[in-house]
Amino acid sequence: MGSEPAEIENAMTLGEMLGMAGYRTLWSGKHHGTQNPVTLGFDRYYGLRDGASNHFNPGLQRPGEGKPAQKRDNRAWIKEGQLHQPYTPEFADFYTTDYFTDYALEWLEEFKNEDKPFFLYLAYTAPHDPLMAWPEHITKYEGKYMEGYEAVRRERLQRQKAMGLVDDELQLPEPQHTNWEDLSEAEKEKEDLKMVVYAAMIDRMDQNVGRLIQKLKDLGELKNTLILFASDNGASAEVVDLEGSGAIGTMTRWTSLGADWANVSNTPLRFFKNYSHEGGIRTPLIAFWPAGIEEKGRISNTPLHFIDFMPTFVELAGFTYPHEDQKPLIPMQGESFLPILKGGQVERGKPIYWQWAKGKAVREGDWKLVSWNGSYII
C-alpha cells in the first residue's frame, strides 16, 4: 500500500513518498481529516480520524459505567483499516495515549525482521482537552500549582534561562491571566486541579514515549533511528463547556485548560493556539539520533515549519521528488533541516508565511508581521 497513489490530487504525502523509497509506513494516533490514511500511502493506521474526543471512551456508554463526556459520540475512528463511527472501546483500560502506543509497538514487533527501514508517525492527542488522566498520575501532582499563575510562570522562565533555552536578559511580557489572589479558595482548588490533570496527561505521554524508546532499544534500532518530537501549536485558551458530571479528570466530565493556565504554559510567549503570535505557533522540535546528530545537546534557534519535514525526509531517504513534467504535483515546499542535525545551518531562500482561522503572518529572518482578524498587531 505504501506506493499506491494518494487520494489527494496533485500532491504527495509523506507516506506515499517514503513507501516509494522502500520504507514500511506506520501511523498511530490523530488524523483530524476525512481520508483513511491507508489510502494515503500508509501500510497501517489506527486512531482518531476526527477531532478531539474523550480519552477514556470516545464512543457510547458502556454497561456499568457513567456516560462519557464528549462533543459528539460518533467521532470517526479507524481500526485495522475499518471505519468505526462511533468507536466504543471494548476494554475499560482504554486510554488514547496508551492505545496509540500499543499499536505502534505491535507493528514494530510485527515488522522487526523486515529488511527495510520504517517510518512511524505517532500522533498523540494528549494533552488536548478534555482534561482526563489516570488517577495515580493525578495524585502525583495534587497541590503543586496552588502557588498561582504568576509564581509558576516566573519559575518556568528561570528554568528556561538555566537550560539555555532563552536569553538571560529576557523579560516576561504583561500577564494575560487573572490575578490569583482575586480567586476564592474553591476557585483556586479548581484551577490547581485543572493544571494537575494537564500535568498528569503529559506525564503519561512521557511514559509512553519511554515505552517506544525501550522497544527500539530491545530491537537494536535505537542508535540509527531519528526521533523527532514536536507539538502542532501552543497551549490553547479555548474552552468547551461540556463539564458533565464527576470530578475534573474523569471520563464523565469534559474540562478545558482555559486562558489563564494557557498563558502560563506558553511562558514566555504571548497569546495562544490559533494566533500567529509566538505563543500560538512556537513549539520545540526535539531531535534524537545517536548515529546521526553531530553535536549532541545543541540548541538551534533557526525557525522551522512543518513544510520542512518533507524535504528533510526526502533527503534522508535518498528519494528523488518527481518533477512537474513527470507527474502533475504541487512543487515541494520548505527546506531540509538535515544540515542542522549535522551541525550546520539552514538559510531559507524565501520568507515563511501562513494563515489559520483569523490569524496569519509572514516571517523573514528575525522580522515577523502578524495579523489577527484583519488587523496588524505588533
The neighbouring-strand residues paired with 360 are 355, 371
pLDDT in tens, 188-227: 999 999 999 999 999 999 999 999 999 999 999 999 999 9
Average pLDDT over residues 113-138: 97
The torsion angles phi and psi of 325, rounded to 5 degrees, stand at: -80, -15
Please state, in angstroms and rounded to a whole number, the distance separating the CA atoms of residues 170 and 29.
37
Q: Quote the mean pLDDT of the chain.
A: 93
Please state, in angstroms and rounded to a whole number, the distance separating the CA atoms of residues 310 and 51.
24
Please state, in angstroms and rounded to a whole number, the distance separating the CA atoms of residues 59 and 65.
12
Q: Would you say 348 and 335 are in contact if contact means Cβ atoms under 8 Å apart? A: yes
How distant is the alpha carbon of residue 309 from its chain centre? Answer: 14
Confidence of residue 325 (pLDDT cuts 50, 70, 90): low
- Cα end-to-end span (Å), the chain: 48
Give the architecture (CATH level 2) of 14-350.
3-Layer(aba) Sandwich (3.40)
Please state, in angstroms and rounded to a whole number, the distance separating the CA atoms of residues 170 and 166.
7
106: closest CA among 91, 122, 89?
A: 122
What is the domain partition of the chain in residue ranges?
Answer: 14-350, 351-378
Q: What is the pLDDT of residue 327?
A: 60
The neighbouring-strand residues paired with 78 are 47, 83
Q: What is the pLDDT of residue 195?
A: 98
* Cα-based distances in Å from 125 to 18, 48, 74, 86, 95: 24, 9, 17, 18, 11
Distant-in-sequence, close-in-space partners of 256: CB < 8 Å, separation ≥ 6: 129, 130, 131, 236, 238, 239, 240
> Exposure string (b/e) for 300-322, b if CB count within 10 Å is 16 or more?
beebbbeebbbbbbbebbebeee
Secondary structure tally for the chain: helices H, strands E: 9, 11
pLDDT in tens, 152-187: 999 999 999 999 999 999 999 999 999 999 999 999
pLDDT in tens, 242-286: 867 899 999 999 999 999 999 999 999 999 999 999 999 999 999
Confidence of residue 91 (pLDDT cuts 50, 70, 90): very high
The torsion angles phi and psi of 187, rounded to 5 degrees, stand at: -65, -40
Neighbours of 258 (CB within 10 A): 20
Average pLDDT over residues 136-146: 97
Return the SS3 of 211: helix
Burial of 139 (0-12, 13-18, 19+ CB in 10 A): exposed
